[in-house]
Structure 1
Amino acid sequence: MSREVDRELNPQRRRFLGAAAGAVAGGAGGVGAAAIGALTAASPERADAAPRTEPVSDRHRWGMFVDTAKCADGCTACVDACDQENGLNLQAKPLGDDKAKWQNQRAVWIRKVKLQDKTSGHVTNLPLMCQHCEHPPCVDVCPTGASFKRADGIVMVDRHTCIGCRYCMMACPYKARSFIHEEVDQKLTRAPRGMGCVESCNLCAHRLDNGQTSTACADACAAEGHHAIVFGDLKDPNSPVRQAMAKQPSRQIREDLELNTGVRYAGV
């Protein structure tokens, strides 16, 4: 995996937003050697991948299927892989900050969640990230258009027009977005980040735009032998994600909101 980093061109940009309340908690750990190997083999600089030559279109709708029965308790491979792929592992706790405060404020794009059935006591593990809704509430409330949905269904944030109001964070029913409270000293060139902006999972759009067909989290999960996360084109009946969904029932989280999410779960 490329470790090339660059410096923030304008460290004073968005300083007026300061350190305001509201963030997303997250966890971390050490990604296994097998998962790191898989990510290295599938990096955006891979020789057999080619940059996009056509505009993004609605011929595809990218999404995920998560089999919670295969999601291992205590495994953080997907979280660690996402951190490495998008440079979130380069975050450093500001000098003097309380450790608990930092854990609550550091940016997280995917987190492991435990759900417990109140009747049976059964515990379900699942990764939770932006659900890439067909009707995303975050887009509806954004006053500048910084939150937007691509034609292929990926929900993203334009950091150039994000003013840090965090309306999208309040509107998201999955608490899937993070706010960057501190200046960003190091970041990957493929994943620019900056103080005063909101960010979240983008289904590794940089990979898709460079000819690849998988995400870092799905690759890492497979490398660990779990295969709990399957990524693909929801409009293609022959895609891995549609094939996986055809084998067992799946559902949306918060189906009552009728958002038609691009991420579906089995076993919840």
Structure 2
Amino acid sequence: MSMSKLEQQGRREFLKTSATAAAVTVAPGVMLHTMAANAAPRSEAVTDKVRWGMLIDANKCADGCNDCVNACDKENGLDLVNMPEGADEGLWERQRPRWIRQVKLKDNLSGKVTNLPMMCQHCEKPPCVDVCPTGASFRRADGIVMVDRHICIGCRYCMMACPYKARSFIHAEVAEKLTHAPRGKGCVESCNLCVHRLDNGQATTACQEACQHQAIVFGDLNDPDSAVTQALKKYPSVQIRADLKLNTGVRYSNI
């Protein structure tokens, strides 16, 4: 029996409401992720008219603050992974998957210590893409560097090639994962600038939203009016390992 127009409208409203609900378990080990009410899936192909990137002000990164790391873990399901029974806690913390790491830089001349988050730098010319034998590591037209888990063979060449140590390898089976961030044993993964958000009409990353000190400015580097472009014009910035001439999408100020 076909549905009436009223029934169809009610069903559409129900589905719309369901899409904005909190994350729920839809199957063992799989959770449905929350979507913003005003988010809309991408309807056009990605182009190079946009280049996503961010500016991080190291002066605003407070010592001991891990808000961006915790937000990234929660956003991508990394917090669902538990330390294996009997494992060494120190070794686990060093080897567990991390898409953002908090690092400290010390100036040998002045002794100044700078704290900053380190993630995939989303290079214009990514070394990880150059060495990948299967094409699993790739760069989108909008500047986001990603890993296709369907064709990643776990060779880890990309991890060796990355000068920022920004990639992690999944050593064990993943019991729980989010639908928008599938993860599996034997694959490499790294920061993707919350691509699931960008492809659904949003324009912020989880780390930017979580930063209480407003140290992270994210946006379109090709848009002269975007917040990140204006910030780059206003404040001097640097690339990590600028000598490699990779033209990174992530820049830092005050380091």
TM-score range (shorter-chain normalised) is 0.7 to 0.9
Partner of 1:258: 245
- Equivalent-residue separation in structure 2 for 1:198 and 1:208 (angstroms): 21
- Equivalent-residue separation in structure 1 for 2:89 and 2:183 (angstroms): 22
- Equivalent-residue separation in structure 2 for 1:154 and 1:6 (angstroms): 30
Structure 1 residue identity aligned to 2:86: G
Cα offset, 1:44, TM superposition: 5.4
Cα offset, 1:5, TM superposition: 6.7
Partner of 2:40: 50
Partner of 1:233: 220
- Equivalent-residue separation in structure 2 for 1:81 and 1:88 (angstroms): 10
Structure 2 residue identity aligned to 1:244: A
SS at match of 1:256: helix
Tell me if structure 2 keeps the 8 A contact 1:44–1:207.
Answer: no
CA offsets, 1:4-41, max 9 Å, x none?
475579xxxxxxxxxxxxxxxxxxxxxxxxxxxxxxxx
Long gaps (5+) in structure 1: 10-42
Partner of 2:254: 267
Structure 1 residue identity aligned to 2:132: C
Partner of 2:235: 248
Aligned match of 1:60 in 42, 50, 66? 50
Cα offset, 1:262, TM superposition: 0.2
- 1:1-268 equivalences under 5 Å are 2=23, 4=25, 7=28, 45-221=35-211, 224=212, 226-268=213-255
SS at match of 1:81: helix
Length, aligned pairs only: 232
Tell me if structure 2 keeps the 8 A contact 1:44–1:212.
Answer: no
Tell me if structure 2 keeps the 8 A contact 1:44–1:210.
Answer: no
- Equivalent-residue separation in structure 1 for 2:238 and 2:91 (angstroms): 34
Structure 2 residue identity aligned to 1:182: A
Structure 1 residue identity aligned to 2:44: E
Long gaps (5+) in structure 2: 1-21
SS at match of 2:46: coil
SS at match of 1:139: helix
Structure 2 residue identity aligned to 1:180: I
Cα offset, 1:156, TM superposition: 0.2
Q: More displaced, 100-109 or 161-170?
A: 100-109
Larger radius of gyration: 2
Cα offset, 1:170, TM superposition: 0.2
- Equivalent-residue separation in structure 2 for 1:230 and 1:6 (angstroms): 36
Identity %: 69
SS at match of 2:116: strand
- Equivalent-residue separation in structure 1 for 2:111 and 2:244 (angstroms): 26
CA offsets, 1:35-87, max 9 Å, x none?
xxxxxxxx851111111000111110000100111111111100000000000
SS at match of 1:156: strand
SS at match of 1:261: coil
- Equivalent-residue separation in structure 2 for 1:193 and 1:8 (angstroms): 11
Tell me if structure 2 keeps the 8 A contact 1:4–1:188.
Answer: no
Structure 2 residue identity aligned to 1:219: E
CA offsets, 1:80-103, max 9 Å, x none?
000000000001112222222222
Task: Please report the TM-score for the alignment, with normalisation by the length of structure 1.
Answer: 0.84
- Equivalent-residue separation in structure 1 for 2:113 and 2:27 (angstroms): 42
Structure 1 residue identity aligned to 2:234: K
SS at match of 2:93: helix
Task: Please report the TM-score for the alignment, with normalisation by the length of structure 2.
Answer: 0.88
